[in-house]
């Protein structure tokens, strides 16, 4: 894989998809449908998916593409593949809360090694460079030219005063019970894969997820966090979270800075 080309293509497609999403987000109204699994889908999901899929297939025709909005892609398997959630945090989008992202990732041998997470309503963009290091790009976010980037790195956590981030739409008693095992200085909620990015930048130390997610929800954020020195492990046995699973469904997991002293489930 040409990692430089991959970075440039993923970044540009994320920005283009973000423009399409925001055009719909800022309209007077948009249609919300319900998929077979009871999750919502909007015309923004579908438009962003079409744009990203076409761009990735043109640039990398020999790489398997798995995307949330194309069910036939969920039946295909490979050790190395591209995986996309064109609009992660649809509930945040529908309720106009802003915490939604465009997620594009590249998985190699079960590990997300490259990815981009773009939050168009927050004007925040995180991605991996060709060498795998994670950055946040600031400024105008021009599509044809990478702007100023700032390297990001996980925190050196204070285990007596941890900063926790948890799901905004899916927080429950099981999540709170686990968080209560730690000495917490501050706990915040965020939507979509932004939670991974908050750990990657050191704005949070740990993100536990005690709830259902799919690989397209997490791969891009996982890649960014990995590039910033963070880890993502299974909730039950603290083994690494892997990708390319039979149904692309994740077990519960914990994303964290390695300086955090993990508690047992």
Binding-site annotation, residues: 68, 85, 87-90, 217
pLDDT at 210 over 90: yes
| Token reading at 259 | 């300086």
Q: Indicate if the pLDDT at residue 76 is higher than 90.
A: no
Assign domain 162-256 one CATH number from 3.10.150.10, 3.40.190.80, 3.40.50.261, 3.30.1360.40. Answer: 3.40.190.80
To the question of pTM greater than 0.75 for the whole model, the response is: yes
* Known binding-site residue numbers for Mg(2+): 68, 85, 87-88, 217
Characterize the bridge pairing of strands 213-214 and 249-250.
antiparallel
Q: What is the pLDDT of residue 95?
A: 87
Nearest of 128, 141, 158 to residue 19 by alpha carbon: 141
pLDDT of residue 70: 82
Taking residues 198-222, report their average pLDDT: 97
- Structure-token pair, residue 105: 């990732």
User: Domains of the chain: which residue ranges?
Assistant: 3-151, 162-256
CB of 119 closer than 8 Å to CB of 17: no
Residues making up the annotated binding site for substrate are 68, 87-90, 217
Q: State whether residue 231 is helix, strand or coil.
A: strand
- Over residues 84-98, the mean pLDDT reads 90
- Over the stretch 169-194, which tens digit does the pLDDT of each residue have? 777 899 999 999 999 999 999 988 99
- Place domain 3-151 in its CATH homologous superfamily: Fructose-1,6-Bisphosphatase, subunit A, domain 1 (3.30.540.10)
Percentage of the chain beyond pLDDT 90 is: 77
Residue 136 clears pLDDT 90, i.e. is over it: yes
């Amino acid at each position: 894989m040409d990692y430089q080309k991959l970075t440039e293509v993923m970044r540009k497609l994320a920005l283009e998809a973000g423009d399409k999403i925001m055009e719909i987000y800022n309209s007077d109204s948009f249609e919300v449908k319900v998929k077979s699994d009871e999750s919502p889908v909007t015309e923004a999901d579908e438009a962003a998916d079409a744009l990203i899929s076409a761009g990735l297939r043109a640039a990398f025709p020999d790489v398997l593409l798995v995307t949330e909005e194309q069910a036939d892609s969920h039946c295909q398997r490979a050790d190395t593949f591209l995986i996309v959630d064109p609009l992660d945090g649809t509930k945040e989008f529908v309720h106009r809360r802003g915490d939604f992202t465009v997620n594009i990732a590249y998985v190699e041998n079960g590990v997300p090694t490259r990815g981009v997470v773009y939050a168009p309503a927050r004007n925040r963009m995180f991605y991996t460079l060709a060498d795998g290091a994670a950055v946040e790009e600031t400024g105008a976010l021009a599509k044809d030219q990478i702007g100023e980037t700032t390297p990001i790195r996980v925190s050196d956590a204070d285990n007596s005063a941890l900063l926790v981030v948890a799901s905004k739409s899916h927080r429950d008693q099981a999540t709170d019970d686990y968080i209560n095992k730690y000495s917490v200085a501050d706990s915040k909620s965020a939507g979509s894969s932004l939670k991974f990015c908050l750990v990657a930048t050191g704005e949070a130390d740990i993100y536990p997820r005690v709830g259902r997610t799919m690989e397209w929800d997490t791969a891009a954020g996982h890649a960014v966090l990995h590039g910033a020195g963070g880890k993502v492990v299974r909730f039950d046995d603290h083994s690494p979270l892997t990708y390319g699973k039979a149904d692309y469904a994740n077990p519960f997991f914990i994303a964290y800075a390695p300086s955090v002293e993990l508690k047992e489930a």
